[in-house]
Chain A
Amino acid sequence: MSRKTNIPEDELVTLLMSRDKDAFRILYDNYSSTLYGIVLKIVGSAEVAEDVLQESFVKIWKNISSYDKTKGRLFTWLLNITRNTAIDKLRAKHEKYQIQSIDDSVYQVDKQSSATMKVDHIGVKQSVQQLKPEHRIIIDMAYYGGYTQEEISEELKIPLGTVKTRMRNAIIELRKIF
């Protein structure tokens, strides 16, 4: 069921830079489900999420030469393009990305996708549940929602200092889990 191909990131990037379409297929098969999961969380609708994913991968194909591996991992770059495309889509539709709906949508998507969920992800999924909700919401808002620390502080009505501390503790907690 999983089409994921094991290939060193450096090698994949080199092939992508030469506009190798087979490499791009590998890229899609390796990363599309993770990115789609994130897009679903942001836009909340499968229909919109499909469009966003398509748009994002076309952008990735067009701009692959601007990826600079000295500045960070490939996934971080892919995520940035996808996240920005999703957020732009929301803005174009004049829909404010609501934090209340993040948490709801997280569980909604989880339920919806449970049928197609990969076996190797079940263990990981359970471990994510170990993350404290107050940590999880901050990671989701920042990482998926593109919120700044100030915006998180405003939305959640907690002091900026607390946002910073929680953000750091959330990552520490996350590293213990994985």
Chain B
Amino acid sequence: MSSPEKVTAQIKAPTSFLLGLACAGIALFLIAALIELPDEALGLTELSKQHMDESGVEHPVTAVLLNFRAYDTWLEVGVLLMAVMGMLLFQRRSDLRDIERMPAPDPVLNWLIQLLFPMMVLVSGYLLWMGKFSSGGAFQAGVVLGAGGVLLWLAGHPSISGFSGRLFRFLLTVGFGSFLLVAFYNVLLSQAILDYPVAYAGTIILIIEAAATISIAVTVAALIIGLQPVIRDRDRTPLEPH
């Protein structure tokens, strides 16, 4: 087995050079296509501006994410969920309770984290709220919160590995589930699947965003923490049959 340290090219130098030429060709084609784009862009800025009144929020990116193209966001939260499910599936566990904990940190780091983590929760909530008016929203808020969870865990705290299995799975699915509830409600009333009434659009978006923030945070933290070795790593049954 070769050392993983060095760059190992499976392909020999002449072939590699030819492949380089092919990739350069692809790049040239793409650039040629770019240059042929019309100068006058017919983007969707105007269209989204016209419908901002109906969206219930004041920031165009949030309006697109949670209202005009809510489908995309819904399925995207679904993709996150599937990534976690895939990871847990082939690790043969349903929660992170058996993850090995990091050793307790020195007092200075501990103090820093006690200071930083509440700030991160605060910033996350602020970003979530600000999404209605300006830059911010569920994704940024979720990632900040998730990074806070990872930080907490790196400092030897249980973080999300302290959640019980049921709570962990609930938090993972609550974002996807809230979209599903809205869709189900709309189907019952035989409306378009993700159509919010204009009067309540802002509130519904905030609730969905809050749920999505929690799901994104737990998912991001689980994807990073879940890669760590478990306690009793050697006792676990290997995945392949003997």
Q: Do A and B bind each other?
A: no
